[in-house]
Structure 1
Amino acid sequence: MPQITYVEHDGKQHTLDVSSGLTVMEGAVKNGVPGIDADCGGACACATCHVYVDAPWLEVLPPKSPIEEQMLECANNTASNSRLSCQIKVTVALDGLRVSLPESQ
Structure 2
Amino acid sequence: MSDVRVYVEEAPGQRRELEAPTDMGLSLMELLKANEYPIQATCGGMALCATCHVEVLAGPALPEPSEDEWAMLDTLPVLHETSRLSCQIRLTPRVDGLVVRLAEVA
TM-score bin, normalised by smaller chain: 0.7 to 0.9
5+ residue gaps, structure 2, are: none
Which letter does structure 2 place at the counterpart of 1:29?
A: K
Superposition RMSD in Å: 1.6
Residue 56 of structure 1 and its aligned partner are, at CA, apart by 4.4
Is the 8 Å Cα contact of residues 59 and 95 (structure 2) preserved in structure 1? no
> Secondary structure of the residue that 2:16 maps to in structure 1?
strand
User: Which residue of the partner structure matches residue 92 of structure 1?
Assistant: 93
**Equivalent of 2:49 in 33, 46, 49:** 46
Higher strand share: 2
> Secondary structure of the residue that 2:55 maps to in structure 1?
strand
CA distance in 1, matches of 2:58, 2:99: 9
> Secondary structure of the residue that 1:54 maps to in structure 2?
strand
- Is residue 2:23 matched to residue 1:17? no
CA distance in 2, matches of 1:45, 1:53: 20
Spell out, residue by residue over 1:7-49, the C-alpha distance to the aligned partner (whole angstroms, 9 max, x if none).
Answer: 23x4453311122121111100111123x22111101110000
Is the 8 Å Cα contact of residues 52 and 100 (structure 1) preserved in structure 2? yes
5+ residue gaps, structure 1, are: none
Runs of 4+ in 1 over 4 A off after TM superposition: none
Residue 99 of structure 1 and its aligned partner are, at CA, apart by 0.6
Scaled by the length of structure 2, the TM-score of the pair is 0.84
Spell out, residue by residue over 1:52-98, the C-alpha distance to the aligned partner (whole angstroms, 9 max, x if none).
Answer: 112443xx211110010000012231111011010011111211110
- Name the % identity: 41
Is the 8 Å Cα contact of residues 3 and 17 (structure 1) preserved in structure 2? yes
CA distance in 2, matches of 1:96, 1:38: 23
